Amino acid sequence: MNIVDSSAWLEYFSGGPNAEYFSPPLKNPSLLIVPVTTIYEVFKVVLREAGENEALQAIAAMQKGQVKDVTINIAMHAAKISLQHNLPMADSLILATANFYKCTLWTQDSDFENLPKVNFIPKKSVGQPGH
């Protein structure tokens, strides 16, 4: 099972330099868990940058995976993760959900770099060499 972090969804939707890296988990929605926290983050950014219609289309695409709510157990585990790895609330909720459902987390968010069961690729600027 896979979880794609908000930064990776946004990269994929915008066709950014790392979009192709995130294609494998996103093209297999039967093996995709979508934490409700990522829906919040993606909807907020797309709404702000592109408008409500585009934001609703993004969420419709995300709902092809299995959307999972934050449970009490996930919330408590996220609090521990936040303290252990000094992660912001949203990141700790996403990682706790990945741990709970035994998922690999795909991301370009440097907060997750070097954590177990994380497929991390550094965020690239559009103007970086080779892209």
pLDDT per residue as tens digits for the range 13-31? 999 999 999 999 999 999 9
Helix axis angle for 36-50 and 89-100, nearest 10°, is 140
Nearest partner of 29 among 53, 79, 64, 3, judged by Cα: 64
Q: Cα–Cα–Cα angle for 56, 109, 20, nearest 5°?
A: 65
**Does 131 map to a domain?**
no
pLDDT band at 127 (very low <50, low <70, confident <90, very high): low
pLDDT per residue as tens digits for the range 53-106? 999 999 999 999 999 999 999 999 999 999 999 999 999 999 999 999 999 999
Number of structural domains (the chain) is 1
CATH code of the domain covering residue 56: 3.40.50.1010
Chain mean position to CA 76: 20
**Does 69 map to a domain?**
yes
Residue 125 confidence (pLDDT):
77
**Does 59 map to a domain?**
yes
**Maximum pairwise Cα distance, the chain:** 45
**Does 130 map to a domain?**
no
Look up the pTM and report it. 0.93
- Looking at every residue in the chain, the average pLDDT score rounds to 95
**Residue 75 structural domain:** 2-120
**Does 129 map to a domain?**
no
